Amino acid sequence: MQQVDTVIHARWVIPVESNAQEPSGQALDCHAVIIDHGRIEAIVPSDEARQLYQSDEIVELVNHALIPGLINAHTHVAMNLFRGIADDLPLLAWLNQHVWPAEQKWVDKNFVHDGSMLAIAEMLRGGTTCFNDMYFFPDITAQAAISAGIRCSLGLIMIDFPTIWAQNADEYLSKGIAVHDEFKSAPLISTAFAPHSPYTVSDEPLTKIRTYADELDIPIHMHIHETADEITQAINHNGKRPLQRLYELDLLTPRLLAAHMTQLSHDEITLCAEQGVHIVHCPESNLKLASGFCPVARLLNAGANIAIGTDSAASNNDLDMFGEMRSAALLAKGVANDASALPAAQALYCATMGGAKALAMDNEIGSLRVGKAADITAVDLSTLETQPVFDPVSHLVYCAGRHQVSDVWVKGRRLLNQRQLIQMDVAAIAQRCQQWQEKILANQV
């Protein structure tokens, strides 16, 4: 028998297929995932696994579905400490009157560390194994992610105006490149340039980012066409819709992750699909801020890749990828007036392989396939709320919740064991969160 690091037996193994337009929703019955040296060695029927493999860690999950770890493709994790600070407002009022003033007052290295730890704990408990971030002090978020064992893509932030992180475009760029260089050898850390949006970053910095992204071979992550006001203001300013301006700057490429994209014409949908732009759909944030509806079905029909993100806990107000999958699937049907739009298997694909493709990590994560990293989430489907189980993929999207995530592995390392975080001190995280709450409340009075 072959000695391996871990054998996970599960009621269902859901590998997630690589075909975005027609994901099969295949569920392998009574199979085992074999892990060795952080990678998937084999996926075989459990009876066969018991005969071929031995391990010091054998995990029996008789009521569970194993899925690829979920990928949160757009978030601002440190903002977990601003959860609920300003609700029921449109985007620009939310940003200008509440979030940006709060950031000026509170954001520093300690804020980013504590907020990142809180968010990472929430994400791991909800089955997310990789997140794509955009915030200040990305080096601090990287340190938090490394200590927790989660995979992340660091956003190298760029904004035209001064912040605590940098004073001008050149400083944002130089500090971002320094962060890239510092963590480029870290096995679970990658980077992406993160210009905030077309309305906060001017042409010259965007041109530089385009050049450096090619040189460093990393993605570009940006809020684009999030609201109708954004489009109106852009046209009033320079006579162009933001996507047209970005196209003229040669930014519409397969490197680009365009978050939100709620305001799209037919020609823009075709253009983005033809140029290989990845769309990061954030349904619940868009709903809460009344920003609009991403035309997911039309984008998919045009051939675009769709990933899913939560946005920040300040605008959502959680980092629950199960909730996002469900909202994405239901919203797509309503917007398209088509009950077959974004079926369950396709929603699961968007939350896994869609994110992996957007981050250029699809050879490493996003599906359960031999040779890939063992980033795995186990979901207990034995609860009353998910009985009976006729179709486990349907259940994962339409009725399961993050509270049913029992176990999580990242690169073969178990980070959540029967709902308990192994690497993280939950009590210490909660204590720091309470201290921030008291400090912020005391200064609002």
What pLDDT digit, counting tens, does each position of 371-420 carry? 999 999 999 999 999 999 999 999 999 999 999 999 999 999 999 999 99
Residue 213 located in a structural domain: yes
pLDDT value at position 433?
Answer: 97
- Cα(342)–Cα(296) distance, integer angstroms: 8
Quick: pLDDT tens for 66-105.
Answer: 999 999 999 999 999 999 998 998 888 888 898 889 999 9
Quick: pLDDT tens for 254-273.
Answer: 999 999 999 999 999 999 99
Q: Are residues 296 and 161 in the same domain?
A: yes
- Residues 365 and 46: beta-carbon distance below 8 Å: no
Q: Are residues 14 and 108 in the same domain?
A: no
CATH of the domain at 62: 2.30.40.10
Treating both helix axes as pointing N-terminal to C-terminal, what angle do 169-183 and 203-216 enclose, rounded to 10 degrees? 20
**In the structure, what pLDDT confidence band is assigned to residue 337 with cuts at 50, 70 and 90?**
very high
Q: Are residues 230 and 277 in the same domain?
A: yes
CA distances from 200 to 91, 101, 175, 223, 398 (A): 14, 16, 18, 10, 37
Residue 418 located in a structural domain: no
pLDDT of 24 > 80? The answer is: no
**Percent of the chain at pLDDT above 70?**
98
pLDDT of 357 > 70? The answer is: yes
Q: At residue 241, what are phi and psi to the nearest 5 degrees?
A: -70, 150
Q: Are residues 334 and 222 in the same domain?
A: yes
- Cα(85)–Cα(69) distance, integer angstroms: 30
Residue 440 located in a structural domain: no
CB atoms within 10 A of CB 92: 15
Mean pLDDT of the region 347-364:
98
Q: Is residue 317 reached through a cis peptide bond, with omega within 30 degrees of 0 on the bond before it?
A: yes
pLDDT value at position 91?
Answer: 83
- Residues 396 and 65: beta-carbon distance below 8 Å: yes
Q: Are residues 76 and 54 in the same domain?
A: no
Residue 424 located in a structural domain: no
CATH of the domain at 278: 3.20.20.140
Q: Are residues 74 and 179 in the same domain?
A: yes
CA distances from 347 to 264, 328, 363, 366, 393 (A): 21, 7, 20, 13, 10
Q: Are residues 55 and 75 in the same domain?
A: no
Residue 444 located in a structural domain: no
Taking alpha carbons only, the member of 303, 302, 293 closest to residue 336 is 293
Share the mean pLDDT of the chain: 96
The residue with tokens 């010091």 is 56
- Residues 263 and 227: beta-carbon distance below 8 Å: yes
Q: Which domain holds residue 381?
A: 2-68+371-411
Taking alpha carbons only, the member of 262, 261, 257 closest to residue 275 is 257
Q: Are residues 76 and 55 in the same domain?
A: no
Partners of residue 130 on adjacent β-strands: 71, 151
pLDDT of 19 > 80? The answer is: no
Mean pLDDT of the region 321-328:
98
**Domain edge (last residue) among 316, 331, 357:** 357
- Residues 286 and 293: beta-carbon distance below 8 Å: yes
**Percent of the chain at pLDDT above 90?**
93
Quick: pLDDT tens for 165-219.
Answer: 999 999 999 999 999 999 999 999 999 999 999 999 999 999 999 999 999 999 9
- Counting the structural domains of the chain, the total is 2
Residue 140 located in a structural domain: yes
Residue 117 located in a structural domain: yes
Q: Are residues 262 and 317 in the same domain?
A: yes
Lowest mean pLDDT across 97-101, 119-123, 225-229, 414-418: 97-101
Residue 349 located in a structural domain: yes
> In the sheet that 70-75 helps form, which strands lie side by side, from edge to edge?
70-75, 128-133, 151-158, 189-195, 220-224, 256-260, 278-281, 305-308
Q: Are residues 31 and 177 in the same domain?
A: no
**DSSP 3-state of 68:** strand
Q: Are residues 279 and 344 in the same domain?
A: yes
pLDDT value at position 92?
Answer: 83
Q: Are residues 161 and 41 in the same domain?
A: no
In the numeric block, which tokens belong to residue 283? Answer: 């349904």
pLDDT value at position 25?
Answer: 82
